[in-house]
């Protein structure tokens, strides 16, 4: 029996078992770990040789894609060769941006949804950069790797267990990177927190909280934007669709896939009200929008346990009125830090007893060296500069032949939470085991690349 069949067999049988509620959580978790019998990766971690320059084929130049495109125009060694988008005017817009920046005009591919395949067949592209709706992430990554290119993709990299395995297996088979572009890993606060954790300021890590709490009601009802595709997920699925923004930085602090691993999770969701109420109030009680049915819980809460004994509370809320937050909170044996609603810290023996202290008192001393290096260059870039830094780090890694800050195993470990949370919610909050995409290689301690500067 092939490894591929074993993996798909696990998915099918695991779903059937969940629906029937025939297995307890411990039995289900053990079963999921037993079924997957893939050999360990031969090259772990995967490291490709240095490049003189990185020739990029770009797929998707909407709002976020155009921002990334602009960043690459400022990064030495990045060469924008081709652009693919189903909207020709958007492709032409970035063509013009390149020329105005003194760069060569990239070729454009605008013949429809499948034209990215034609672009990927070129032999003068090293990296395919993907900024598209979620359903295209996996097919485009696979096409890029199978045609000899590295893939870099916006979050989440995948939305199902099966697709996470496809990315891992294809990266291993082709020897090409599949990198998830999690910009929040590079936010100023999160990188300062990471530096604090790695320098022992908070002591031994114990617990973290994080999430994605963003009022997207208007986005999901905007049929000229992301609402075209994003609302469909809210109608058909119930789980944490967007776990990586909050969890990515926490995973780095906890050495996930580098001596630690997510072990299992439990998820639950509230009733579903927010999108319906919003539609009634905005469009009227008798409007077609008010008659639409949504499945996504207004708030999804997930509890994660790691192999090394830390716990994480992960939240997802995109259906309710609220200020934006990623709910960052990190507790160690010597202190605690939080980001929202305002940045505070408490260090035992240093801070006033039992009182929060202003984060400002620490941020310069523990500013991450990457931010020290790139702060000036990142000014004016998207999301406070973190988008530029993540793009810069990607090109710098490829040119220097070093391991990227995140690899395909990180992409899978973070993205797989979507289906695992769905399964848990559907089965009365049963515990769900995380697949070991590294097949045991996570036990090897290896340095987090972003801490090597």
pLDDT-derived band at 17, boundaries 50, 70, 90: very low
pLDDT digits (tens, 9 = 90+) for 21-41: 333 334 343 334 444 558 889
Residue 12 pLDDT exceeds 90:
no
* Preceding peptide of 85 cis, ω within 30°: no
pLDDT of 287 above 50? yes
What pLDDT, in 10s, does the model give residues 89-134? 999 999 999 999 999 999 999 999 999 999 999 999 999 999 999 9
Model confidence at 307: pLDDT above 50: yes
pLDDT of residue 37: 58
Each residue's pLDDT tens digit, 52-98: 999 999 999 999 999 999 999 999 999 999 999 999 999 999 999 99
Exposure string of 104-135, with b = 16+ CB inside 10 Å and e = fewer, is eebbbbeeeeebbeebbebeebbbbbbbbebe
The whole-angstrom separation of Cα 129 and Cα 35 is 34
Q: pLDDT digit string (tens) for 378-431?
A: 999 999 999 999 999 999 999 999 999 999 999 999 999 999 999 999 999 999
pLDDT of 189 above 90: yes
Over the chain, what is the mean pLDDT?
Answer: 92
User: Torsion angle, CA of 187/189/194/197, rounded to 10 degrees?
Assistant: -170
Q: 197 or 31, which is more confident? A: 197
Question: Options 3.40.50.2300, 1.25.40.10, 2.170.150.20, 3.30.360.10; which CATH number does 185-372+415-451 get?
Answer: 3.30.360.10
Structure tokens at 217: 């009601």
Which one, of 430, 453, 384, lies nearest residue 198 by Cα?
453
Query: In percent, how much of the chain has pLDDT > 90?
Result: 88
d(CA 66, CA 91): 9
Tell me the two tokens of residue 236.
């058909």
Place 7 in a pLDDT band, splitting at 50, 70 and 90. low
Average pLDDT of the residues in 249-256? 98
Strands 335-338 and 344-347: antiparallel
Residue 14 has pLDDT above 50, yes or no: no
Rg (CA), the chain: 22
Decide if 17 contacts 431 (C-beta within 8 A): no
Please state which of the four CATH numbers 2.40.37.10, 3.30.43.10, 3.40.50.720, 3.40.50.10490 is assigned to the domain occupying 54-183. Answer: 3.40.50.720
Q: Which of 133, 129, 142 is nearest to 168 (CA)?
A: 142
β-pairing, 311-317 vs 205-213, is parallel
The full 3-state SS of the chain, as one line of letters, equals: CCHHHHHHHHHHHHHHHHHHCCCCHHHHHHHHHHHCCCCCCCCCCCCCCCCCCEEEEEECCCHHHHHHHHHHHCCCCEEEEEEECCCHHHHHHHHHHHHHCCCCCCEEECCCCCHHHHHHCCCCCCEEEECCCHHHHHHHHHHHHHCCCEEEECCCCCCCHHHHHHHHHHHHHHCCCEEECCHHHHCHHHHHHHHHHHCCCCCCEEEEEEEEECCCHHHHCCCCCCHHHHHHHHHHCCCCCCCHHHHHHHHHHCCECCCECEEEEEEEECCCCHHHHHHHHHHCCCCCHHHCCCCCCCCEEEEEEECCCCEEEEEEECCCCCCCECCCEEEECCEEEECCCCCEEEECCCCCCCCCEECHHHHCCCCCHHHHHHCCCCCCCHHHHHHHHHHHHHHHHHHHCCCCCCCHHHHHHHHCHHHHHHHHHHCCCCCEECCCCCCCHHHCCCCCHHHCC
Distances (CA, A) of 39 to 172, 409, 443: 11, 15, 15
pLDDT of residue 452: 86
Please report the pLDDT score of residue 39 as a whole number: 87
């Amino acid at each position: 029996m092939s490894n591929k069949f074993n993996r798909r067999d696990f998915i099918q049988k695991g779903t059937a078992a969940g629906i029937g509620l025939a297995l307890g959580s411990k039995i289900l978790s053990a079963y999921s770990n037993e079924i997957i019998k893939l050999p360990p990766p031969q090259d772990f971690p995967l490291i490709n040789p240095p490049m003189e320059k990185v020739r990029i084929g770009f797929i998707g130049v909407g709002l976020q894609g155009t921002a990334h495109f602009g960043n690459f125009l400022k990064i030495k060694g990045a060469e924008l060769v081709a652009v693919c988008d189903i909207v020709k005017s958007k492709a032409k817009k970035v063509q013009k941006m390149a020329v105005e920046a003194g760069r060569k005009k990239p070729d454009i591919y605008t013949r429809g949804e499948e034209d990215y395949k034609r672009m990927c067949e070129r032999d003068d592209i090293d990296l395919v950069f993907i900024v598209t709706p979620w359903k295209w992430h996996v097919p485009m990554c696979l096409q890029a790797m199978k045609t000899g290119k590295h893939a870099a993709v916006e979050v989440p990299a995948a939305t199902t267990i099966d697709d996470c395995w496809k990315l891992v297996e294809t990266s291993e088979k082709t020897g090409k990177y599949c990198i998830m572009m999690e910009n929040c890993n590079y936010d100023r606060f999160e990188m300062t927190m990471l530096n604090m954790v790695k320098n022992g300021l908070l002591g031994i890590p114990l617990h973290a909280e994080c999430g994605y709490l963003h009022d997207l009601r208007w986005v999901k009802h905007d049929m000229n934007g992301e609402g075209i595709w994003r609302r469909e997920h809210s109608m058909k699925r119930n789980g944490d669709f967007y776990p990586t923004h909050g969890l990515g930085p926490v995973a780095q602090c906890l050495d996930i896939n580098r001596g630690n691993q997510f072990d299992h999770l439990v998820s639950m969701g509230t009733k579903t009200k927010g999108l319906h109420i919003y539609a009634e109030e905005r469009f009227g009680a008798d409007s077609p929008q008010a008659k639409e049915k949504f499945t996504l819980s207004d708030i999804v809460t997930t509890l994660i346990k790691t192999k090394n004994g830390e716990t994480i509370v992960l939240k997802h809320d995109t259906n309710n009125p609220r200020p934006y937050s990623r709910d960052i909170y990190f507790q160690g044996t010597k202190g605690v830090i939080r980001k929202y609603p305002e940045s505070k810290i408490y260090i035992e023996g240093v801070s006033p007893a039992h009182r929060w202290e202003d984060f400002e008192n620490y941020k310069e001393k523990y500013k991450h060296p990457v931010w020290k290096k790139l702060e000036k260059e990142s000014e004016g870039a998207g999301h406070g500069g973190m988008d530029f830094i993540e793009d810069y780090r990607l090109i710098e890694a490829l040119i220097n032949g070093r391991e990227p800050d995140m690899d395909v195993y990180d992409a899978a470990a973070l993205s797989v939470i979507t289906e695992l949370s769905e399964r848990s919610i559907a089965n009365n909050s049963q515990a769900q085991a995380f697949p070991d995409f590294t097949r045991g290689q996570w036990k090897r301690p290896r340095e987090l690349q972003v801490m090597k500067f």
